[in-house]
């Protein structure tokens, strides 16, 4: 049972059904393997296969390409529900839908859509490759180059911290086709894993989200056909910025799912654990902590849902996305920490799931735009800059 009633009144009947279906799937099909996948640092391929079979990897892809023809908001619901059980599952679906598929739907040519969208909906995991060793918050200080050879480009460089890389067959990869022009040379490329000169390198051994793969990518004269340039040469920075703005809403969804999971575990334990002859949930000190957690989770959910609704309505959402990502990542870490405290000593053991959620929460304040970057975005919008 959920600790906090879900705000179903804000959802359509179709969205309620979708949410319930994903929640049931996450609890029944993913939850039994969460600890195993975390310890092995490996996500089960059979579960990814189920993601595709359920349509969770092609939520917004139109039906004509084999997708579900759903909404961005539905993708947000899916990420939240999966993350309440395992944030690693949530981020796999997040990257596929809100970053990669979403970018192709907006900027790919008709030929590119016809070639890749059916595969992304059916069985091909996607990955988004922007970050480098010297290119984090300063996303466009990238060193990966793309030399123009007429009918193809040769890519050279190294990408780091690339989510889904171990499983992916498709990479939305950014490289600079004109380094002298700075960020105005950045170009988006559609790269297949089998392209000559492309290699998935070392897999990171991480603190949290261990089942979600994070790898380096190596390009050594990687040959990419010219028809695999997405958008115009030198316009990749616009694609990256706009895509990340939407992806931040999904990270907010991942974080509220995580926080909700932490709260549910805390409430359940508070009802069971007895001290001084009473369940600890009967003590006001514990009750107040649970209440504060519930309030923060609900506030974060409303920020995330609002940003997603604005996006689907075609309205400006930059500041709202930054607010949602910032606040959700803050409360996720806080909720996971408080949940451990409610559990007491057993909370730091692997016998209970809350220590994993605490480890998973930390990245929320870092990836897809640090908390400071989100604050900067909000401040600039407030000041009209």
Report the half-sphere exposure of 66 (CA within 13 A, side-chain side): 17
Gap between the Cα atoms of 143 and 214, Å rounded: 20
- Taking alpha carbons only, the member of 104, 51, 83, 146 closest to residue 360 is 83
**Residue recorded with tokens 């991942």:** 254
Gap between the Cα atoms of 243 and 251, Å rounded: 13
**DSSP letter, residue 96:** I
| Structure tokens, 229 | 């340039």
196, 212 contact by CB (below 8 A): no
Give φ, ψ of 384 to 5 degrees: 70, 30
Angle between helices 318-343 and 284-312 (to 10 degrees): 160
Q: How many residues does this entry show for the chain?
A: 385
Marked catalytic residue, from 167, 298, 320, 368: 368
Gap between the Cα atoms of 48 and 57, Å rounded: 9
Gap between the Cα atoms of 88 and 67, Å rounded: 23
Q: Is 296 a catalytic residue?
A: no
Could you give the residue numbers annotated as active site?
Answer: 368
């Amino acid at each position: 049972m959920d600790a906090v009633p879900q705000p179903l009144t804000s959802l359509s009947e179709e969205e309620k059904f979708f949410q319930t279906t994903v929640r049931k799937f996450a609890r029944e099909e993913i939850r039994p393997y969460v600890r195993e996948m975390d310890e092995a640092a490996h996500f089960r391929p059979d579960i990814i296969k189920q993601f595709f079979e359920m349509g969770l990897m092609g939520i917004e892809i139109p039906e004509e390409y084999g997708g579900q023809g759903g909404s961005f908001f539905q993708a947000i619901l899916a990420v939240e529900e999966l993350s309440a059980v395992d944030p690693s599952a949530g981020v796999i679906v997040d990257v596929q839908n809100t970053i990669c598929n979403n970018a192709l739907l907006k900027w790919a040519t008709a030929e590119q859509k016809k070639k890749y969208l059916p595969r992304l909906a059916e069985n091909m995991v996607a990955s988004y490759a922007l970050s480098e060793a010297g290119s984090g918050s300063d996303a466009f200080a990238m060193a990966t180059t793309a030399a123009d050879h007429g009918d193809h480009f040769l890519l050279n460089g190294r990408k780091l911290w690339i989510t889904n890389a171990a499983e992916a067959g498709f990479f939305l990869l950014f490289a600079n086709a004109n380094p002298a022009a700075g960020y105005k040379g950045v170009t988006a490329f559609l790269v297949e894993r089998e392209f000559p000169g492309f290699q998935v390198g070392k897999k990171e051994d991480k603190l949290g989200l261990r089942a979600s793969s994070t790898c380096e990518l190596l390009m050594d004269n990687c040959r990419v056909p010219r028809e695999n340039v997405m958008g115009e040469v030198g316009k990749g920075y616009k694609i990256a910025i706009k895509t990340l703005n939407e992806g931040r809403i999904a990270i907010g969804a991942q974080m509220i799912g995580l926080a909700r999971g932490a709260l549910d575990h805390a409430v359940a334990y508070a009802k069971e654990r007895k001290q001084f002859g009473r369940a600890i949930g009967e003590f006001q000190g514990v009750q107040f902590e649970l209440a504060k957690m519930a309030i923060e989770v609900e506030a974060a959910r409303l920020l995330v849902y609002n940003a997603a609704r604005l996006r689907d309505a075609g309205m400006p959402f930059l500041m709202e996305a930054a607010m949602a990502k910032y606040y959700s990542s803050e409360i996720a870490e806080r909720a996971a920490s408080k949940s451990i405290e409610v559990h007491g000593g057993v909370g730091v053991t692997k016998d209970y799931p809350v220590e994993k959620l605490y480890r998973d929460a930390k990245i929320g304040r870092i990836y897809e735009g640090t908390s400071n970057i989100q604050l900067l975005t909000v401040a600039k919008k407030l000041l009209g800059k």
